[in-house]
Amino acid sequence: MSAAVDLVAAKAFFTGLQDSIVAGLSDADGLRFRRDAWERPEGGGGASCLLEEGRLFERAGVAFSHVMGDKLPPSASAGRPELAGRGFEAMGVSLVLHPRNPFVPTVHMNVRLFTASKAGEAPVFWFGGGMDLTPYYGFEEDAVHFHATCKAALDPFGEAFYPRFKRWCDRYFFLKHRNEPRGIGGIFFDDLSEDGFDAAFALTRSVGGHFLEAYLPIVARRRDHAWGERERDFQAYRRGRYVEFNLVFDRGTLFGLQSGGRTESILMSLPPIVKWRYDWHPAAGSPEAALYERFLTGRDWIALPPEA
């Protein structure tokens, strides 16, 4: 087990992952992504790949960033206050896809590496990331497929990882002010470093590498499903929950803004068309009500052992 932090290998993986995902999504949509390279005055930069008004995706963003600075932002050191004030380097890939068809779910994926440094000491590192699915109209086979693929990404590293990261995802992607999950979850992890750099990096590569396998089969099943004004209206309403989470709770959004990141790249995760209503509730027995009753519940889509 190696304790050395290999930033060159990590950057090569993240940039290659962005390229492979953009290629797969371009094939699915039929249109090409716009690539927008940027530099950060405080240090670092990245490339944002964006597709808007596509055949499949109303908006799809796949971003790579590699930034550094003299002081960790509060969002990055909140869980590890002993690191506050250290210099930092952060890199990773983050994506959010907002399809046009309400029967195709929104999806998010992120994988990242942080290092915190202090003169005279070895750098402290940790990996984080995960993926989660946000349907507007739920299908059990889609939920099971997504979670099974997440589990397949983690199982080579130990059977305990999927239950741990699945429950972490359920807790993290939860709108406390609404008392409801953002979607049907997936996996989420942070501060991963305890088994050394090589092990944590391998797990992170596996999560990123399983994304297209987790999502594109769902797209293929739902993209031609007929929809109308009612479904589109409900999609816009539920997208409001996505906006609320990203702007109030999401640590990646907070880190990007606090670290002086590029605003256009940080906020390209937001959907282009959103709607809010006052105290709205779906009609009993409706397909919209089924989303709340059967899917936004934190269900175990794959049998899990009891939580310790």
* Residues with active-site annotation: 108
Tell me the C-alpha distance between 123 and 126, whole Å: 10
Strand-pair partners of 45: 39, 66
On whether the CB atoms of residues 98 and 83 are closer than 8 A, the answer is no
Work out the widest C-alpha separation in the chain, in whole angstroms.
64
Terminal Cα-to-Cα distance of the chain (whole angstroms):
28
On whether the CB atoms of residues 134 and 105 are closer than 8 A, the answer is yes
Give the HSE-up count for residue 268: Cα atoms under 13 Å, Cβ half-sphere: 25
On whether the CB atoms of residues 123 and 156 are closer than 8 A, the answer is no
Tell me the C-alpha distance between 58 and 72, whole Å: 34
